[in-house]
Amino acid sequence: MAFRKDFLWGAASAAYQLEGGYRADGKGLNIWDVFTNCHSAGIKKFVRYNETGNEACDHYHRYKEDIALMKKMGLKNYRFSINWTRVLPDGIGKVNEQGIKFYSDLVDELIKNGITPLVTLFHWDYPYELYKKGGWLNPESSDWFAEYAAVVVDALSDRVSYWMTVNEPQVFIGLGFYAGNHAPFLKLHSCDLLQMTHNVLLAHGKAVKVIREKAKLSPRVGFAFATACCSPLDNSKEETEAAYKRSFDFDCGNYLFSPGWWADPIFFGKYNEKGYEIFGNDMPHINEGDMEIISLPVDFYGVNVYDAKSIMTIDGYPEGTYTGMPRTSMNWAVTPETLYWTPRFLYERYGVPIMITENGLANNDWVSLDGKVHDPQRTDFIERYLKELRRAASDGVDILGYLHWSVMDNFEWADGYDRRFGLIYVDYRTQERTIKDSAFRYKEIMESNGERL
């Protein structure tokens, strides 16, 4: 017993990271556009080497070529996100038909090539015009998101049935508004952040409602959340229980990254008690009916998993790591067993099928003298992680699919183009693409539905 027969194998991307075309065909500006371009005054470097997503992989103009490569790589599913301001330049109000046309054509091209489109509504490229109105802190922000969701669902739901509302609110709030190293590069206080998380949860819920009410094809709705669970230090019952507990627990320093903070309200219709204990009166203001919207049923729990969530030990090492252990070029620990424990714990707690909406690694790839990209670390990473995911499936965890991050090298947020996560190598000087060796191995794995691992 291993992966289910209809397992979704594929890869993922996000609009800002690969599209480029940042002013093309009536597109409005988002916070990443604005902040990555505002370094000209030389005041502050937001992104390593002051890079921007203005051109990125120029996927906006090259999507047909890219889809041809995806087909060659044997991808059957492709998760991508919609750039909100391509569709609604000001975030709300006037619709940009050319933006809609781009995504509609993209979906057609995917389907023509036998690839199922999975759509993420929001992967961090927040409309600048709405940001100026207070963004996620504005009490109307969830209605803005619902308006945007309705436009996209109207345009694509006759061909798209998998929907993810938001990608990693943990990260876009945690890094964007708390740590200040992602757009809009702010450092806010908890009372603002807590209300913001509530507004994002409401936005998620309202989008679920819109999708269910308006979709033409019967929809499968979820989200793509960040943060893996803790892995137990050994297989004992005590350690397993302790790791489970630590996975969902949080304190005032790390709640933004905890599934207990974010997912409990969606699945249980109320905030985790711990929130009331530690934040008291700072807890979000909840209007009547909010929790009902937030907890509208979803069809799957999408989770992006890179490395196991770690707890710092007293000697300063994150739990489960050791001196000299394998690390990716993001310096993230290679912890394959997280693809066993994360789906297992999430399934145990929330009871819906799990979709691995991202997993992968940054690696120092380059084109060899023979014109190929040899990336044995990525091949090894994929094999190790997928074996663990298969073990979870064999142990009865309902796993819907696995989407590798990423389909191609792209703009890695504050790290710019330095970090290569792709199955396809991109030479940014020429926009030439080269399929990496690992993609061919991944193809074999997908074709055998994980048997040949």
Q: Which stretch binds ligand GAL (CB under 6 A): 51-59, 266-274, 338-346, 405-413?
A: 405-413
Between 51 and 168, whose beta carbon lies closer to ligand GAL? 168
Surface-to-core class of residue 49, CB atoms within 10 Å of its CB (0-12 exposed, 13-18 middle, 19+ buried): exposed
> Helices 237-248 & 338-350, crossing angle to 10 degrees?
70
Between 168 and 388, whose beta carbon lies closer to ligand GAL? 168
Residue 304 pairs in a beta bridge with 358
| Cβ atoms < 10 Å from Cβ of 260 | 21
**CB-hemisphere CA count at 13 Å for 412?**
21
For residues 229 and 339, give the distance between their C-alpha atoms in angstroms, rounded to a whole number: 9
Between 122 and 413, whose beta carbon lies closer to ligand GAL? 413
Query: Is residue 167 near ligand GAL by the rule CB under 6 A?
Result: yes
Q: Tell me how far, at minimum, the Cβ of 220 lies from ligand GAL, in Å.
A: 20
Q: Tell me how far, at minimum, the Cβ of 362 lies from ligand GAL, in Å.
A: 7
Q: Tell me how far, at minimum, the Cβ of 239 lies from ligand GAL, in Å.
A: 28
- E strand intervals along 40-132: 77-81, 116-122
Q: Tell me how far, at minimum, the Cβ of 237 lies from ligand GAL, in Å.
A: 32
For residues 184 and 54, give the distance between their C-alpha atoms in angstroms, rounded to a whole number: 17
Between 81 and 116, whose beta carbon lies closer to ligand GAL? 81
For ligand GAL, which residue of 3, 8, 10, 14 counts as binding (CB under 6 A)? 14
Q: Tell me how far, at minimum, the Cβ of 32 lies from ligand GAL, in Å.
A: 11
Q: Which stretch binds ligand GAL (CB under 6 A): 42-50, 89-97, 106-114, 165-173?
A: 165-173
Query: Is residue 171 near ligand GAL by the rule CB under 6 A?
Result: yes
Query: Is residue 413 near ligand GAL by the rule CB under 6 A?
Result: yes
Query: Is residue 225 near ligand GAL by the rule CB under 6 A?
Result: no
Q: Which of 51, 358, 388, 412 is catalytic?
A: 358
Q: Name which of residues 267 to 306 contact ligand GAL (CB under 6 A).
A: 304
DSSP letter string over 129-140? HHHHTTGGGSTT
Q: How far is CA 169 from CA 28, 253, 330, in A?
A: 22, 16, 20
**What single-letter DSSP state applies at residue 425?**
E
CA–centroid distance for 46 within its chain = 21
Instruction: For residue 304, give the H/E element and its range.
Output: strand 301-304
Query: Is residue 342 near ligand GAL by the rule CB under 6 A?
Result: no
247 touches 231 (CB < 8 A): no
What is the x/- site pattern for ligand GAL, positions 114-133, by CB under 6 A? --------------------
For residues 257 and 340, give the distance between their C-alpha atoms in angstroms, rounded to a whole number: 20
For ligand GAL, which residue of 129, 290, 358, 375 counts as binding (CB under 6 A)? 358
DSSP letter string over 162-212? EEEEEE-HHHHHIIIIIS--STT-----HHHHHHHHHHHHHHHHHHHHHHH
Residue found under tokens 């603002």: 192
User: Which amino acid, residue 81?
Assistant: S
Q: Which stretch binds ligand GAL (CB under 6 A): 142-150, 164-172, 336-344, 348-356?
A: 164-172
Catalytic (active site) residue 238:
no
For ligand GAL, which residue of 405, 417, 425, 442 counts as binding (CB under 6 A)? 405
Q: Tell me how far, at minimum, the Cβ of 182 lies from ligand GAL, in Å.
A: 10
Contacts of 160 (CB under 8 A, 6+ apart): 107, 117, 118, 119, 217
Between 100 and 389, whose beta carbon lies closer to ligand GAL? 389
Q: Tell me how far, at minimum, the Cβ of 167 lies from ligand GAL, in Å.
A: 5
Between 301 and 421, whose beta carbon lies closer to ligand GAL? 421
Query: Is residue 340 near ligand GAL by the rule CB under 6 A?
Result: no
Catalytic (active site) residue 358:
yes
Residues of this chain that bind ligand GAL (CB under 6 A):
14, 17, 167-168, 171, 226, 304, 358, 405, 412-413, 421
Catalytic residues: 168, 358
